[in-house]
Amino acid sequence: MFDNLNPYTIRTETIDDITRYVVSFKDGQGILREIEISQNVFMLFHNFQKSDKRQQNFFDRHIEHSDLTDEQVNRRVLYPPKDIAETAIDNYTQ
């Protein structure tokens, strides 16, 4: 429900064809609070979450990989390269 990066959740509730927009969070004393918000505020929260998720995905796909060692990158590739012994045997037999 909550995590360190996103300490709140947003949701919609529909009762008798009336839609309510609610944000839930824990206050400083650790008590769960729920507040009804307007649709505009809900959309701001929602758009922020989508933008944040896009940034996290970009980081996971591109930035995070720049810190990997060659060995870690080789473990993630579809066709891992041959090790030195296999390369030497292939070159010797040709």
Residue 44, amino acid: L
The single residue listed with the structure tokens 């090790």 is 83
Give the predicted TM-score (pTM) of the model.
0.55
pLDDT one-digit tens code per residue, 15-51: 999 999 999 999 889 899 999 999 999 999 999 889 9
Predicted pLDDT at 14: 93
Mean pLDDT of 68-85: 76
Distance CA 86, CA 82 (A): 6
Count CB-CB contacts under 10 A for residue 42: 19
